[in-house]
Amino acid sequence: MNPPALAHATPPRISDFEHDLLEGLSQPVRAISPKYFYDARGSALFDEICELPEYYPTRTELGILAAHAPEMAARIGADADLVEFGAGSLNKVGQLLAALQARNAMPRYVPIDISGEHLGAAVQSLRARLPGLDVTPVVADYTRAFTLPAQHAGRRRIGFFPGSTLGNFAPGEALAFLRQAARLLRGGSLLIGVDLVKDPALLHAAYNDAQGVTAAFNLNLLRRANSELGTDFDLDGYAHHALYHPGLRRIEMHLVSRRAQTVTVAGQRFDFDEGESLHTESSHKFTVHGLRALASQAGFRPGPVWTDPDRRFSVHWLDAPAAMLHH
């Protein structure tokens, strides 16, 4: 007789975070997806970043939404499912919900976020402010396959994707996300905010704030790995570094090793040389024309564009035709 199945025991399934960290550390240029910033502490730190004087994107986009929410609400109309990708603290959607409430056209609101704890607290606060709102939160990684709640008969899906989060994707990933969104929202539309190309000095300041909150946010990824995965990153051994590449039209964030050191992840050892980095985020900047062209390639029909007076940021209305075109 064979002994019990110990010899062929299935190894425990590792988390997506551990899998992606192991894979990222094994590459010639080490990198990890920025989605792993967002545990509860990371989400709270990002909320702090949004309040910083140097960080213009949040207040600029909020200003655009405040100025044009009635027009956007008219386009959303009644009987909509408002689906927010990467909902976070639900701050920006409030402008749209208030404008919809003024039109007596409250939608069913479907916020999607990877951090269930943060999303739960934000939804509880939103329900207290708008007790009549139908909220159906979804805890999911919207960059992977996930299921939306079934549409009610006659409802259109309107996507909301603020914050220039599209810029965190590599160009091919951004196109893939927009194609997925066009399929999910077929017969509806997407309202998306993207940061625009501008003076590199403004961009550099936005990602290197004087208070060091962005540095703490970046380093929190290593703290999270130590806490959740049992890694042994020395947080004092890495420094936040952010720079703008004009040719690539993107900000890059890195964690740079201050000295030669070794880290252990799931029993595997990885050596860092002094000055070697872990690339934690890219934030691509767009032109209005470039975003509209990318959206068209993904199967959307570009509509109105709203910007602030200084053209630092833009919010686009993109229609997803019921019969999608193949590109």
Contact 83, 158 (CB under 8 A): yes
- In whole numbers, what is the pLDDT of the chain averaged over residues? 92
pLDDT attached to residue 14: 81
Residue 111 lies in a domain: yes
Residues 94 and 67 in one domain: yes
Residues 218 and 312 in one domain: no
Residues 192 and 249 in one domain: no
- Dist. CA 216–CA 255, nearest whole Å: 11
pLDDT at 327 over 50: no
Element (H, E) at 302: strand 301-307
pLDDT band at 4 (very low <50, low <70, confident <90, very high): very low
Residues 25 and 84 in one domain: no
- Dist. CA 272–CA 49, nearest whole Å: 29
Residue 28 lies in a domain: yes
Residues 84 and 187 in one domain: yes
pLDDT band at 6 (very low <50, low <70, confident <90, very high): very low
Contact 279, 218 (CB under 8 A): no
pLDDT band at 9 (very low <50, low <70, confident <90, very high): very low
CA atoms within 13 A on the CB side of 138: 19
Contact 162, 95 (CB under 8 A): no
Structure tokens at 190: 């997407």
Element (H, E) at 217: helix 213-229
Residues 23 and 134 in one domain: no
pLDDT at 31 over 80: yes
Element (H, E) at 187: none
Residues 33 and 64 in one domain: no
pLDDT at 253 over 80: yes
Residues 185 and 102 in one domain: yes
pLDDT band at 1 (very low <50, low <70, confident <90, very high): very low
Residues 113 and 26 in one domain: no
Residues 173 and 216 in one domain: no
Residue from 261, 304, 307, 252 nearest 280 by CA: 252
Residues 126 and 255 in one domain: no
pLDDT attached to residue 76: 95
For the stretch 89-133, pLDDT in tens is: 778 898 999 999 888 888 899 999 888 888 888 888 988 888 888
Query: Domain residues for 156?
Result: 56-198+285-319
pLDDT attached to residue 12: 58
CATH number at residue 312: 3.40.50.150
Structure tokens at 79: 């009987």
Element (H, E) at 157: strand 156-161
Residue 183 lies in a domain: yes
- Into how many domains does the chain fold? 2
Contact 224, 270 (CB under 8 A): no
For the stretch 49-105, pLDDT in tens is: 999 999 999 999 999 999 999 999 999 998 899 999 988 777 889 899 999 988 888
Contact 235, 217 (CB under 8 A): no
Residues 181 and 125 in one domain: yes
Residue 4 lies in a domain: no
Residue 141: how many other CB atoms lie within 10 Å: 14
Structure tokens at 73: 């609400």
Is the four-CA dihedral 169, 126, 56, 219 of positive or negative sign?
A: negative
pLDDT band at 28 (very low <50, low <70, confident <90, very high): very high
Contact 303, 215 (CB under 8 A): no
Residue 6 lies in a domain: no
For the stretch 189-244, pLDDT in tens is: 999 999 999 999 999 999 999 999 999 999 999 999 999 999 999 999 999 999 99
- Dist. CA 193–CA 159, nearest whole Å: 11
Structure tokens at 183: 């399929």
- Please state, in angstroms and as integers, the Cα–Cα distance from residue 172 to each residue in 168, 169, 176, 300, following that order: 11, 8, 6, 16
Q: Which residues contact 10 (CB under 8 A, 6 or more apart)?
A: none
Residue 5 lies in a domain: no
